[in-house]
Structure 1
Amino acid sequence: MSSMLVQRPYLLKAFFNWIVDSECTPHIIVDATQPCVEVPEQFVEDGKIVLNIAPRSVMQFSMDDDAVAFNARFSGQPMQVYVPLYAIEGIYARENGAGTMFPEEPAYQALDKEVQPEKEVEVAEKPIAKNRAGLKIVK
């Protein structure tokens, strides 16, 4: 029997595009208790946080098969947000609630301990690469 890929990256991208193309505001529901989640702690309630990921609301937005990352302001303070896909529980449109909750995926549970230390290193490296590129542009 062949194993299927995890479906969350595909579902997240499809629902994100559908919500944005419908001129609505996409929000993700995040389990902030998961390892490697970087969100503003002061807005976490009962271990969860809802984040607006509309293109007009965030900067340097990135969504790939591993994580959603962006820069945004929270109460006027800039912050870099990093959410591994295994911590995203669902996505919906603010205006009408259309969206989906993601099913549990055993692959994320199996990879949980293996992937997380590696993600911490990647998060630390991303700002360094941006700073170097920024220095080249200044020259």
Structure 2
Amino acid sequence: MSSSTKPYLIRALYEWCLDNNQTPHIVVWVNQHTKVPMQYVRDNEIVLNIGPNACRQLNIDNEWINFSARFGGVAQDIWIPIGHVVSIFGRESGEGMGFEVVPLEQNAPPPPEDTPKTDKKTKLRLVK
């Protein structure tokens, strides 16, 4: 059985947005398997800016999208099953693609434990 094309298309459209000076956003269907700030969820959906200026350590693999972002000044780890992505689009033009929602199974394992580390400072030094 072949893998889903959905994560590949999401990654491609993310790159397309960046290459065309668009801000990539995703619409996500939310249930108990989705870790997002619930105060921003409306009608079981949330729209998230996944551009490089809005989130840190973005990872789009074949099963999950995860990153860290600030909401109301507080850093939060976000975990989204790939099947829960409704669409990805560029904010400036609205161009993008919609997808069928494939809910994560009730007995599916939780997100991986290796969550992004937030507020970790990188120390740089000048090398001459």
Quick check: 1:90 aligned with 2:87? Answer: yes
Instruction: Give unpaired runs (5+ residues) of structure 2.
Output: 121-128
| CA deviation vs aligned residue, 1:82-138 (integer Å, no higher than 9, x gap) | 11101111100000100010135xxx46x7245x22x34x2xx214x959xx8xxxx
**1:56 pairs with 2:53:** yes
| In structure 2, distance between residues paired with 1:11 and 1:19 | 12
TM-score when scaled to structure 1? 0.76
What is the 5 A alignment of 1:125-136?
125-127=113-115
Q: Give 3-state SS (helix, strand or coil) of 1:15's partner.
A: helix
Matches within 5 A, 1:15-94: 15-33=13-31, 35-94=32-91
Pick aligned residue for 1:112 from 100, 105, 120: 105
Identity %: 34
Structure 1 stretches lacking a partner, 5+ long: 135-139
Q: For each residue in 1:57-106, what CA deviation from the matched residue of structure 2 results, as whole angstroms up to 9, or x when unmatched?
A: 111111111111111100111111011101111100000100010135xx
Runs of 4 or more, structure 1, over 2 Å off, are 111-114
Counting matched residue pairs gives 120
**Relative to total residues, which structure has the larger helix share, 1 or 2?**
1
